[in-house]
Chain A
Amino acid sequence: MSAIFPIGPFHPALKEAARFELEVEGEKIVGGDFKFGYMHRGIEDIATTKSYHSNIFLAERVCGICNTVHSTCYTQTVEALLNIQPPERAKYIRTIIFETERIQSHLLWFGVAMHEIGYDTAYMYMWRERENAVDMLESVCGKRVNLGINTLGGVRRDITPDKEVLMRRKLDLLEKAINKVGKIVLEDKVLKARVKDVGVLTKDDAKKLCVVGPTARGSGVDMDVRRDDSYAAYSYVDFDVPIEENGDVLSRTLVRLGELFQSIRIIRQAMKDLPKGPISLEELPLPKINEAFGRVEAHRGELLYYIRSNGTNRPERVKIRTPSVVNNNSILPMVLGETIADVPIIIASMDPCFSCTDRVTIVDTKRNVSRTATLSTLGRRRGL
């Protein structure tokens, strides 16, 4: 007979509040139910009461770890709405800051994953190395979180030559540190016994549930918005996309490790090729009645923004679809048949960001109407 084991709103394994009710028999899991909605703050509603420029700072505050991702995606969508292009130097600076934040986010994830399996020593070391990436962000943008680097038509702060010297020095330290992280993860037998063949998501399941990001790439699904649909300066730099076939927690870890190395490669190329010029546009046109989509490759997958304007200086509708909404559906197939002891590391392996997850949809049952958006309407978006 099964009992209900709650991993409830308050739990040390979760970074933000969500509720998992697992049906267990002994220590084996036979079913589950997941409830979200504890982190809803009404951001999409507030966004219709503020001007386009103020909404950049509002979009940043959707999530703490992936804040530049939201601000970049929003800015690119509004620039598509107004039909303007930022200068080339701004695109390169956006790419550099974006990839530095990806390094910071993946190192944070490594630390959290080590903490979930009880390896506190590795957790402390990885967060110590993460400080180098955050120092790079603090020297350019002025803050460690909620960076505020984007503005409509470019970026707000420039990378001056002395900041470039500091960033190169920290990049060298980061490369040595990430090599050591790889060795700690790959050469430890006790750790491998905890993560190998645990929480398997097959390729068919991954395609059926439409997961994105490292969760999908760890199961063999080859998708990456930076390569398939380039934005900012990604079409000018050279990088690979790491894919693994197995689908367990170890392959997702290896995918993130590979992405760390590729991020350092992208930053080095972008800093070498940084063109000279202005960092933002002087004049901005007034918005007309229009709508636009925009998507970027966030640290956890593909992030989508949809903005509709009605000719005033405030947007009429802002819709945010984050990768964590999609990835959270894949927890149930991964967790069936495993023990309670493995649930925290499985949840952590798809890197959930519950702050990003809660957007409310209103289902109109009176009129019984459903509308779908086809791929061709999604294709008609940016003038790129």
Chain B
Amino acid sequence: MTSIVEIIIGLVIYPGLIFSLAVGGMFYWLYRKVRARMQARLGPPLYQFFIDLVKLFSKESIIPYSGRGLLIVLAPLLSIIGLLFTIIMLPLGSAPLVEFDESLIFALYFLAFPGLAMIMAGSSSGSPYGAVGSSREARMMIAYELPYTLSALTLAFYLRSLSLSAITHYQFDHGPFFFKYPLATIVLILCLLAKIGRRPFDAPEADTEIIGGPLTEYSGTLLGLFEIVNGLKWFVVPAFVVTLFLGGGANLIEFLLKCFGLVLLLSFIDIIHPRFRVDQGFGFFMKWVLPLALIDFVRSLILP
């Protein structure tokens, strides 16, 4: 059991806030650069995310009169806490910082915090755009949380264990789970797109329909906090999939390379699709994605 000081250093420096923000910022830059180049544009330079953060933290933050101040400030902080607690439980190449037997359930729980925080931010902001955005986010969460949880639990039922380190150790010996349960991998990657909030499932944050969705009334420091959440999401959420289905990594470099490849795949799917309407997205998840997850889940229950 690690000590409190080590946990705090892990939360803030490695693999916590500073490391994840640096790597997540680079993955976000990679997404923007690939997207720009495929659209015949030049794209932003490498340091764009970080100077955006510096600019946002130096501006004034205005809270609307009809909004609830406490919930507005609490929403991004909740997201950041959820993502940070997840990353210290993931094994980045070697043993994780905090290791215990039920870490898969805890990881699934903490990774639901960003969605909940978005709903909280939208409903408490006091503007109609936030209300519509938070109702859309709630609907999408119902749609994608179920297949996501099912495909993660597929592994738990196969291995009869809920520990993330057990999953990675199994994959070191027998090869990545991607070959054994390909349908569950595809389901999880599609749910990733909805979780990070990218096309074709980015209806909650549609900028031509509801201006900013839940984030409309955020400005200045609070918007900077949400940008930190965005940067962290681009690292933590693919890292979770790489740990579960793509074999983890023998060392940090291999882990990061696998995350890099996954981010490229996600960018490519985002670029070539328009945006689904929220009921069309819900129908897609219910009609096509959920049966695939159920097939692999039942397979893991029945077959040894």
Report which A residues bind B (CB closer than 8 A): 3-6, 11-13, 26-27, 114-122, 124-125, 128, 188, 190-191, 193-194, 339-344
Contact = CB atoms under 8 A, between A and B. Distances in A.
Given A27-B135, A340-B132, A341-B203, 8 more contacts: A5-B132, A13-B209, A116-B208, A118-B199, A118-B202, A122-B274, A128-B40, A340-B209
Tell me if B's interface is mostly helix, strand, loop or mixed.
loop
B274 A340 contact: no
B128 A3 contact: yes
B258 interface: no
Contacts of A344: 208-209
B209 A341 contact: yes
A11 B209 CA distance: 8
A55 B128 CA distance: 44
Contacts of A194: 274-275, 277, 280
Contact of B211 (A3, A11, A121, A128): A11
A-B pairs with lowest CB-CB distance, top 3 = A118-B275, A119-B274, A124-B39
Contacts of A13: 208-209
Contacts of B206: 118, 341
A117 B274 contact: yes
B207 interface: yes
Contacts of B132: 5, 27, 340
Interface in B199-219: 199-200, 202-203, 206-211
A343 B129 CA distance: 14
Contact of B274 (A12, A118, A124, A342): A118
B278 interface: yes
Interface residues of B, number: 27
Tell me if A's interface is mostly helix, strand, loop or mixed.
helix
B277 A342 contact: yes
B208 to A, nearest CB: 5
21 contacts: A4-B128, A12-B207, A12-B208, A12-B211, A26-B135, A27-B132, A27-B135, A27-B278, A118-B206, A118-B275, A121-B39, A121-B272, A124-B41, A125-B40, A193-B276, A194-B274, A194-B280, A339-B277, A340-B210, A341-B203, A343-B209
Interface in B41-98: 41
A12 B211 CA distance: 7
Interface in B239-285: 271-280
Nearest to A116: B208
Interface string B101-126: 00000000000000000000000000
A12 B209 CA distance: 8
B283 to A, nearest CB: 10
Nearest to B127: A6
Contacts of B8: none
Given A4-B128, A5-B128, A118 B40 contact: no
Interface centre among B208, B277, B279 (most CB of A within 10 A): B208
B178 to A, nearest CB: 26
Contacts of A3: 128
Contacts of B199: 118
A118 B207 CA distance: 9
B273 A120 contact: no
Contacts of B40: 124-125, 128
A3 B130 CA distance: 13
Nearest to B279: A339
Nearest to B278: A341
